[in-house]
Amino acid sequence: MKLVTPRESLLKPLAAVIGVVERRQTLPVLANVLMQARDGRLTLTATDLEVELVAQAGLPVDDGEITLPARKLHDILKSLPDEAEVTLAVDGERALLKSGRSRFQLATLPAHDFPNTEDIPFEAELPIAQGALKRLIERTQFAMAQQDVRFYLNGLLLDWTGSELRAVATDGHRLALCTLAVEGVSAAPLQVILPRKGVQELGRLLGDGETPAVLRIGTNHAQVVLGDIRFTTKLIDGKFPDYERVLPRVGSRAILADRLVLRTALTRAAILSNEKYRGVRLQAGDWLLKVQAHNPEQEEAEEEVEVNYSGEAFEIGFNVAYLLDALGALPGELVKLAFTDSSSSCLIQDPESDSARYVIMPMRL
């Protein structure tokens, strides 16, 4: 295999797949990127056996295949000058990369040692704009659990209802739900759980706007095709909680507030909250919401926010980090916080749209 190309032409597809390569691997070949050249196209594949990324580029290259150390190759290409011409030649068990007066000799491993992806059957194929899919992920992924023994919570539920795609994440203390209508798809309803790493990597790859993407969902795998990049992930095998039972009905106590004003007030109050429990107390009265926080050092913070609320006064405690995550994910100028009583969960959403909803359980202070 021999390749002569501008640095950027090789760096771009390599950068697309490098995120899945772990620095510490049980199998040495998993630290490498598989490079396959055929008919003037170079295909780069990286995997950690859970997530696989494939990127293609049209380059003048001789047919052949080999694996090269992914991180080292990526770091070398990044360190070269812009628009530098790169020559990569493979000879036996070594690869020689040259650019100007720079020479790098890299160890290789045979391509046949690289894990081979079998043909995967998919039950549903959904055409979605990249920006819309990215919003689904960004507005829900923060609520995924981290290293929970209930392994099915350490991921993101994709729920295809037959007419809309829902992304749902929960760690048992809060829940995030975002929906997207998808037209022209006849696939039967199904639910799958994407693992945390797959969700994070997909979020990194997705672009904004109406650039097309294709989401394919199968029994054991999910795949997203983004032009010359193909993302494939194994699914978490488990039963996700019935999230619709968690969603509270619209409470009788609804507070309407300026989202950014409330968010900055909570951010300031959080400075003096208990570092371990992060609790804040909300006191709602006519046209005013008080935010109070204190810590074991007897320090206190109090913020007052003008809100649209008139009704029975009540107070309730929450983890301030959960509130800030939800307020940061919503896009609108206003936010609606709905309560049933002072001991029930809070439903947070944009008052003009229910496409994104957040449920937060209260805490005792």
**What pairs with residue 234 in β-bridges?**
221
Residue 117 pLDDT greater than 80, yes or no: no
**What pairs with residue 227 in β-bridges?**
none
Q: Is 355 left (phi over 0), alpha (psi -120 to 50) or beta?
A: alpha
User: Fold for domain 2-113?
Assistant: DNA Polymerase III; Chain A, domain 2 (3.10.150)
Average pLDDT for the chain? 94
d(CA 159, CA 192): 7
Q: Cα-flanking dihedrals φ and ψ of residue 237, to 5°?
A: -90, 105
Residue 74 pLDDT greater than 80, yes or no: yes
- Greater model confidence, 277 or 116: 277
Joined tokens for residue 21:
């390569």
Contact assessment for residue 27 and residue 114, using Cβ atoms and an 8 Å cutoff: no
Q: Where are the domains of the chain?
A: 2-113, 124-245, 248-360
Segment 226-278, tens digit of pLDDT: 999 999 999 999 999 999 998 887 678 999 999 999 999 999 999 999 999 99
User: Fold for domain 248-360?
Assistant: DNA Polymerase III; Chain A, domain 2 (3.10.150)
Q: Provide the whole-model pTM.
A: 0.92
Helix H, strand E, coil C: the string for 276-332 is CCCEEEEEEECCEEEEEEECCCCCEEEEEEECECCCCCEEEEEEHHHHHHHHHHCCC
d(CA 292, CA 272): 9
Contact assessment for residue 254 and residue 336, using Cβ atoms and an 8 Å cutoff: yes
Say if 124-245 and 248-360 have the same CATH topology.
Answer: yes
Residue 249: predicted pLDDT: 77
Residue 116: predicted pLDDT: 83
Residue 297: predicted pLDDT: 96
Segment 16-56, tens digit of pLDDT: 999 999 888 889 999 999 999 999 899 999 999 999 999 99
Contact assessment for residue 316 and residue 339, using Cβ atoms and an 8 Å cutoff: yes
Residue 167: predicted pLDDT: 98
State mean pLDDT over 119-144: 95
Segment 276-332, tens digit of pLDDT: 999 999 999 999 999 999 999 999 999 999 999 998 999 999 999 999 999 999 999
Least confident stretch, 71-80, 209-218, 244-253, 266-275: 244-253
Measure Cα distances from 174 to 104, 275, 277, 307, 338 in Å. Answer: 50, 19, 15, 23, 15
Joined tokens for residue 286:
């006519």
d(CA 261, CA 279): 19
CB crowding 52-91: b at 16 or more within 10 Å, else e? bbbbbbebebeeebbbbbbeebbebbeebeeeeebebebe
Joined tokens for residue 210:
């109406």
Q: Cα-flanking dihedrals φ and ψ of residue 105, to 5°?
A: -110, 120
User: For the chain, give me the number of helices (H) and strands (E)?
Assistant: 7, 24
Measure Cα distances from 261 to 268, 304, 359 in Å. Answer: 11, 10, 20
**CATH of the domain spanning 124-245, picked from 2.60.40.1120, 3.90.170.10, 3.10.150.10, 3.40.190.150:** 3.10.150.10
The count of residues in the chain is: 365
